Chain A
Amino acid sequence: MSREALGQFELMVLLAVLRTGDDAYGVPIAEELHEATGRDVLLGSVYAALDRLEAKKLLTSTMGDPTPERGGRAKRYFKITPQGLREIRAARRALVKLWDGLPALQKGPA
């Protein structure tokens, strides 16, 4: 893992981008997060996390075409970089390591 560790929300956003695939822009990413957490997320917060992840070079973004239902504004599509994938795997390994062998977390609902 890099020296600057991923925050929980950043990790969730990265995973949501990965799950959304080629259609990863603000709305589907926020919906993916809403389905996972059961809570509404602010698009502004999602964009802030996406901007941070792009600055860390874990994501790249490209602009799409403007559409009328968006008031003529283009979509901004996000894609995970190989470095982003490495970070997700590293975060998973670290979490699983910490998870393993804890009796309190072995039973009961997730």
Chain B
Amino acid sequence: MKAACWVMERFGVAPALIGDILEGAARHSIVWSSAQVLGATLRTVSNDLRQHPVLAMRAIVAGWALYFLSARVQPHYSLLNPGMNHLWLAARVLITFRAEVAFGMVTADAMIGFAVSRCHRPYGMAAAFSFVMTLLCLYSWSALDEIPRSLHISPYNPFAPFVVPDVLFLSAVVFVFVPLAVMAGAALGAGRPRSRA
């Protein structure tokens, strides 16, 4: 529960509510505790975003500005795209190369999360969350288009069946590691917000 408390504190969950969850956790299952932690966190984020819509918009704009800036700094960004220009690379080199690019992406996203959260304290986590939601929307939208196209066998993409691991890898990076990295960076940037209730 220590980690859960740490996360809830960063999200600005009311200390009395954290205390109640801790007290209840001693008598209930881990499933109950997890549901309470998730519920309290999401409730706090939604309250913050409802009460500070301008702040949320500013966080989204700032997040995207930093995102495009980081994409400019990382010229290898597009090489993660499955079925694209890295097919000529030998398997071992490719794995190392992809890992490096993924590490670069995740580090850059953590830094974006840190900066967005730092600039929007004491609502840093809610601000970073709003940016992550727009990021996930864009990724989902592009995945709808990109994944079927990558898997489709054509004269331009003759290795389509071999692209499946690439698609899985890319999906894991953009839908799991990137959001987690942004939120982890945001948690570090948010610090321990002052009590709000």
A residues in contact (CB < 8 Å) with B: 25-27, 30, 40, 42-45, 47-48, 51, 63, 67, 69-71, 73-76
Contacts and interface: CB of A to CB of B under 8 A. Distances in A.
A81 B48 CA distance: 27
A74 B17 contact: no
B15 A43 contact: no
A44 B43 contact: yes
Contacts of A71: 5, 18-19, 22
Size bin of chain B's contact surface? 20 to 34
A74 B16 CA distance: 6
Contact of B19 (A40, A44, A70): A70
Contacts of B26: 69
Nearest to A69: B23
A25 B24 CA distance: 12
A69 B44 CA distance: 23
A69 B16 CA distance: 12
Interface in B127-160: none
A74 B19 contact: yes
B20 A27 contact: yes
14 contacts: A26-B20, A40-B35, A42-B35, A42-B36, A42-B43, A44-B17, A44-B42, A44-B44, A47-B14, A47-B17, A48-B43, A71-B5, A71-B22, A76-B14
